[in-house]
Structure 1
Amino acid sequence: MRVYTLLLSLLLTCIIQAQVTPAEKAALQAFYTATGGSNWTSETDADPTNDWDFSGPVTNDWYGITISGGNVISINMNPTLVNTGNNNLTGTLPNEIGDFPFLTSLVLTAENLSGTIPPSLYFLNSLRVLNLGRNNFSGTLPPQISQLTNLTSLIINQNDLDGELPIELTMLGNLQTLDIDSNNFFGEIPIELTDMVELKVLQLSNNPFTGYLYPEYGKLVNLEEFIFFNNSITGTIPEEFGKLIRLKKLRLGSNNLSGILPISLKDLINLENLEIYATSISGEIPDEYGQLINVAYFNLSQNRISGNLPSSLSNMTEIISFNVSNNQITGTLPQSYSSWSLINYFQASTNQLTGEIPDTYSNLSNLTSFVLSRNQLSGELSVLFSNWTNIENFNIQFNSITGEIPETYANLINLEYFNVGENNFSGEISPLFSNWVNIKTLILRDNEFEGRLPDFSNIFRSNDFFQINDNRFQFGDFEDEFNYYDQTLLSFTDNPQARVNDTQNLSSCAGSSITLSTVVSGNANVYQWLKDGTAITGATDSDLVLYPVAISDAGVYTCLITSTIVTDLTLERNPITLTVNATGPIANIVEDKLACDLDGDGFATFSLNLADIEAQAFGSQTGLTISYFDALGNPLSLTSSYTNTTASNQVVTVRVSDTGGCYDESTFNLITTLPAVADTNADVTSCENYTLPPLNADSNYFTATNASGTQLQEGDIINTTQTIYIHAGIGNCADETSFTITIEQPVTADQLEDVTECEFYTLPPLTTSNYFTESNGQGTRINEGDRITETQTIYIYSKSGVCTDESSFTISIDLLACEDSEEAIKSKFPNFFTPNADGINDTWKLNQELFLLEGIVTIYDRYGKLISQFDAINGEWDGYSNGRRLPASDYWFKFEGIDGEINSTGHFALKR
């Protein structure tokens, strides 16, 4: 038994020591030496159990090595896929790397290897996984890559490889992952790559590839990731991309793509990342993209997209990041986006969005970044946004948002960047905002903020930004913290600020006294008054007293205020324009006031508009006061409801005074009047319009009661039915009557043309009129169908209400109008003509008035010789025959009707 155990132990020892071939062990030694094995992290750490000890057998304990069946089947120097420097491999890959015939996986990612990839590596035809990413390999991919026929994953991203992709790469029919991101490959992607139907991950980004996106990519139906950004690809996104229904990531940014977004992408129902940014794609975002309900990352920024944001995108309830910045999007922010309860990142800056930020966005409680800068948004910030307690970046710069920043925003304690600059905000900044303990950038510039600023000196650090310039802040608002901000922060801007105090226009008179003032907060202010832009010597107080005022003191006064604490800011007072009059202010004329004396005792209560009286007395003058006195010089206390103390007519003196004690006076009268009596007009009905008649001097027309509406004048024409009001007097003395003008629409009589008939004329039907034998519906009324047998004028008369209209026509009864009478036919043939070119009877032709004769006319001379022949309707004879001018004489004619029924002969004279 002991012998058996000893033999078994010796056998196992031999097997363990012979786990790999000498060639593979030698290849491991070469790999170790070429990549600086003695400096590997796994060799220099405190754990010797995984060291590569070439004095003994190769085992699975060696770091990164997997052995099976006596062969090395896997080398993985970065088993945890750390991004950089996982095991500190340096140097190059030795050619012996090809001496592992059973190697299925080679992972050397995120090391510091360089040089070219050894040709021997391409003979590892058992290799399934090759990951050399994030190193410094150079050179090209050779055609021999096609020998790695079992390869399912090829990752060589973030190296310095270059050249064109060999077509042989597309022969790797088992490949599922191809990642060549961040190299220097160029040229066009071989179209044969679209036949690699097993591909699940295709990462081609950050290479200067040219060409376009092939429609044939639609054949890669197993593709889950298509990442192709930062290249030089042109053209459009093919509709065929909609066939990649297993796709989870589609990233096509930073290319030269154009055209529009294909609607077919709506079919990518498994899509989680849609990132098409920094291209020239235009058009609108299709509404159908709302069907992409699994999208978490949506990035269409830096394109030329226009139109509105589709409300259908609210169906993307899994969305985490939304970015459509730097486009040409218009319209408002859809309220429906409040359904994005998971969203962290919302950016739509640099567009043309209008309207308000919807209150419902308060539901976006997971927001960490909200950026809507450089739009045309308006309205006020909702107090409900204080729910965004996770927000770190809040940027609405360059809009037209108004109001105050709600005090409840003090809850946003995770804020690091807060930018509301270049808006129309006003009011004070809440002292509670000092709770923003993580703030690093606070931009309030270019608004209308004012008042004491919170103390941020315990929060801001040396690399922070604080901008408050171009507001209404004064020294006292931040002078206690100024030295800290100015000396500690990376950027602190407080200059300039808006002018202080109100603009004033004051007047005074020579010899009086006037004080000009400015009020600015601060404990160490220095004042300098200026007149017409020039400093006034000794005028260094907040008040400037001018006494005695001289004519030369007139001008524009300002004051520059500096501070010995806030040393970088100068405030300027709004201008005071001082007018100096030699005689003081002027009291302008005030209109007399009227009130109704109902009982005739001379007293009444006047309704006085004191502001209007003041405006009349001051005119364009400012800085004045007003007071009132009676005829004896006693002060009067006028109120809006005042009863006169002098019967019938009380004189009131108006005194206008300036601050220097100068004044002027004028007067107006309080006059009582007796009740008025308005004119009375009866109701009237008129056709089409009505002209207003004259009224007595104290009455006036109005379109509404109580002298309201539009005032009308006599002679005005009324075109519509309405009630007109006649108003006389004012106030309680007024009287008013009214009358109704009814305007009826005009009628139109039928129109008939004059007519000539042979024996009688039958009256035709009319529409709304009647026949009469005399004008204005007089004489005998006759009816349609009546026969008129003698020449006369018939009148057509129409009437509706007070509106009438009339037309007339003449019926001529003439036997010559009878087509079959001998006289009528004979009248058709002229007795003579005079062809002398005077425009009168220059040719001989039939008179075709009243009725037509159709047939042939033949002309003979007196010897029976044929001279001319022509059509009776259109023909004529000009006195020539065969170009020869015939003499004055009698000539004969013969007419033959086309039906043979009418034949006529006769003669006529040619006169010259």
Structure 2
Amino acid sequence: EALWVSLNQPALTGWGSEMSLSNTIDGVTVETIGGELRVTSINLRKKGLTGNIEVPELGNLKELTYFNTFFNSLDSYIPQELVDLPKLEYLYLSRTSINGFPDDQDPHVEATTGGTDVHPGKGKRTEQNVWRGNLHAPTNPGASVLKWLYVTHTDSDISSADGLQSMDAEWFQVYSLEGLYVWWNRGISNFPFPAEFTNMTNLTHLALEGGANGDGFLTGNLPSDLSGLSGLKWFRIPAHEQLAIDLDTIDMSTMTGLNMIWIGGCAVSGSLPDYFFDGTLPNIYQSINSWPGGSSPGAEGAHPEVAANQGPYGNGFNVFQYRNNSLTSLPATLWQNNPGIIQPEFAMNDLTTIGTKDLSNQNSLRYLRLNENELHEDLPYLSWNYTLSGGIEIQNNRYVFKHMLYVPPNAPNGETVFELYKNVTQSGEFSYVPQKPFGQARTISVAEGSEVTLNDFDGIVTHADNQYQWQKDGVNISGATSRSLTLSNAQSSDAGTYRLVVTNPNISDLTLTSEPI
């Protein structure tokens, strides 16, 4: 009754043990336990409620297993009495504002003033008001039987920093949890990834995500030993720029239940492992920064399950939006075992190889984005019977003319791969200018009067149609138009910075320059 009043509902009459509450309040389930009526479930989703749930009497509902306030307008902190209920298994608080403890009662944060945060001209979300707040774990995490915690969308405005302000690391000691969802809570920050995560052996769904603008809150390092998480299906932790994930030291191959991993936007480094694509993880169908089809599990309080192999475009990986990290290589199995890739974006990494130059099995590509890496290999050849509407971006790599001007084995009429790229991007952009300097910077010391040859970096830029020009201190050297430059009888006046500039009439708008010597 106290909860009902706190939600600004009319006072109940005739309250008593003989009344079936489920016939009085829609969404409340009452069962007879031990000869007495007991509330076992409170489902208030989408009721248009206002008020709060700051009701210590909730602690009296010892048989309550399910509590859901999805999509209401509640300005409230979460009573510890609710979190500590001995039989509570499902706690859904999404799209409900979460307020801090009263200023003089919360030992975890400094005193703050509460209130809704209205941002003129920003577009307020409906049925969702927010105060700054926190979410405390059960007093005895190890004794909790909670299975699902879902706390999302607690900020009032799409560009605000209000809503949930903190959460206890002790949530990762609630080892009964099967699903832990905390996302779009823009106020939370600087949350070190808990080492206890590796002990959450019952966990099937983990989703920890920053707000819509990509502001993450996880910091530290993802633990390297994930062998105890074989039942994890969803592993969604994107957009945490300060969370280090080293794929060369972290082994996820034992996570055989995994069918979605989303780590794009974190500080990811190393080589993308084969086991994502070679069948080691038999149920996996999305990876890196992809989003599976269908609604989010448990988004509205249903008991969530995720069916394997139900991506939006059929089975297999198809969306890779993985940029601005330190990935060094891709495996060939990524492309070989996933012919339906539509959006491969690996820009702004440290890639030296994409694993193959044969992408002719990819017939669904919308774009190919490999720009701003360290790629120095033949451009991959594609299937040439369709158009990439989103274009191809390969600029700011270390490609040279021979990588772009070879004739691929599937060229219809002997065209170069560059010509075919031009053809398949007619409705989109093909960006290949500029390229980073080729070769490696080096310093050469010679005795005065000796002879020294500056070579073309071991044939890196060899191509029959190349045109060469050596420069000293940025000025062309007259007559120095070969791949190598020999200085006979070297003098101190020859000291300086030398570079080789290379052009090719087949790609007239691209000029390549070597690293300095």
217 and 441 in structure 1: CA distance in 2 versus 1, 3 angstrom threshold: farther
Look up the match of 2:179.
273
Look up the match of 2:46.
180
- Structure 1 or 2, whichever has the larger Rg, is 1
Look up the match of 2:431.
492
Contact kept in structure 1, 2:392 and 2:425, CA below 8 Å: no
Look up the match of 1:572.
513
Amino acid in the other structure paired with 1:150: N
321 and 421 in structure 1: CA distance in 2 versus 1, 3 angstrom threshold: same
150 and 491 in structure 1: CA distance in 2 versus 1, 3 angstrom threshold: farther
**CA shift for structure 1 position 571:** 0.7
For the residue of structure 1 that corresponds to 2:502, the secondary structure is strand
Look up the match of 2:420.
481
| Counterpart mapping for 1:112-511 below 5 A | 143-144=9-10, 146=12, 150-151=23-24, 153-154=26-27, 176-180=42-46, 188-191=52-55, 194=58, 197=61, 201-205=66-70, 209-218=74-83, 223-230=88-95, 231-233=97-99, 234-240=133-139, 247-253=146-152, 254=154, 255-262=164-171, 265-266=174-175, 268=176, 271-277=177-183, 278=185, 279-280=188-189, 282-283=191-192, 285=194, 287=196, 290-293=199-202, 295-301=203-209, 302-304=216-218, 306=220, 309=223, 311=225, 314-325=227-238, 326=240, 337-349=252-264, 363-371=280-288, 390-394=316-320, 397=323, 402=328, 405-406=331-332, 409-426=335-352, 430-456=356-382, 457-458=384-385, 461-474=388-401, 475-476=404-405, 478-484=417-423, 487-490=426-429, 492-499=431-438
Contact kept in structure 1, 2:343 and 2:368, CA below 8 Å: yes
364 and 396 in structure 1: CA distance in 2 versus 1, 3 angstrom threshold: farther
For the residue of structure 2 that corresponds to 1:262, the secondary structure is helix
Q: Give distance in 1, aligned partners of 2:140 and 2:385.
A: 55
Q: TM-score, normalised by structure 1?
A: 0.36
**CA shift for structure 1 position 322:** 0.9
For the residue of structure 2 that corresponds to 1:276, the secondary structure is strand
Q: Which has the higher contact order (CA 8 A, sep 6+)?
A: 2
Number of residue pairs matched by the alignment: 397
For the residue of structure 2 that corresponds to 1:179, the secondary structure is coil
Q: TM-score, normalised by structure 2?
A: 0.59
245 and 570 in structure 1: CA distance in 2 versus 1, 3 angstrom threshold: same
Contact kept in structure 2, 1:405 and 1:425, CA below 8 Å: no
408 and 575 in structure 1: CA distance in 2 versus 1, 3 angstrom threshold: same
**CA shift for structure 1 position 214:** 0.8
Q: Give distance in 1, aligned partners of 2:223 and 2:452.
A: 65
Amino acid in the other structure paired with 2:53: I
**CA shift for structure 1 position 298:** 1.1
Q: Give distance in 2, aligned partners of 1:173 and 1:515.
A: 85
For the residue of structure 2 that corresponds to 1:368, the secondary structure is coil
224 and 493 in structure 1: CA distance in 2 versus 1, 3 angstrom threshold: farther
491 and 235 in structure 1: CA distance in 2 versus 1, 3 angstrom threshold: farther
239 and 527 in structure 1: CA distance in 2 versus 1, 3 angstrom threshold: same
**CA shift for structure 1 position 463:** 2.4
Q: Give distance in 2, aligned partners of 1:485 and 1:199.
A: 60
| Counterpart mapping for 1:41-52 below 5 A | none
193 and 458 in structure 1: CA distance in 2 versus 1, 3 angstrom threshold: farther
Q: Give distance in 2, aligned partners of 1:454 and 1:446.
A: 16
CA deviations 1:723-757 (Å, max 9, x no partner) are: xxxxxxxxxxxxxxxxxxxxxxxxxxxxxxxxxxx
RMSD: 5.1
239 and 495 in structure 1: CA distance in 2 versus 1, 3 angstrom threshold: same
Contact kept in structure 2, 1:179 and 1:201, CA below 8 Å: no
Q: Which moved more, 1:202-211 or 1:212-221?
A: 202-211
CA deviations 1:205-236 (Å, max 9, x no partner) are: 45564442211114656655322135343134
Q: Give distance in 2, aligned partners of 1:418 and 1:506.
A: 45
344 and 556 in structure 1: CA distance in 2 versus 1, 3 angstrom threshold: same
Q: Which runs of 5+ in 2 are unaligned?
A: 1-6, 14-20, 29-37, 100-132, 155-163, 210-215, 291-314, 407-416
Amino acid in the other structure paired with 1:251: Y
Q: Which runs of 5+ in 1 are unaligned?
A: 1-140, 156-171, 374-388, 577-912
Amino acid in the other structure paired with 2:394: Q
Amino acid in the other structure paired with 1:472: Y
CA deviations 1:646-668 (Å, max 9, x no partner) are: xxxxxxxxxxxxxxxxxxxxxxx
**Percent of residue pairs bearing the same amino acid type:** 19
**CA shift for structure 1 position 435:** 1.9
Amino acid in the other structure paired with 1:275: Y
For the residue of structure 2 that corresponds to 1:448, the secondary structure is coil
Q: Give distance in 2, aligned partners of 1:453 and 1:536.
A: 32
Contact kept in structure 1, 2:473 and 2:498, CA below 8 Å: yes
For the residue of structure 2 that corresponds to 1:488, the secondary structure is coil
219 and 336 in structure 1: CA distance in 2 versus 1, 3 angstrom threshold: same
For the residue of structure 2 that corresponds to 1:213, the secondary structure is coil
Contact kept in structure 1, 2:192 and 2:218, CA below 8 Å: yes
Q: Give distance in 1, aligned partners of 2:190 and 2:138.
A: 14
199 and 244 in structure 1: CA distance in 2 versus 1, 3 angstrom threshold: farther
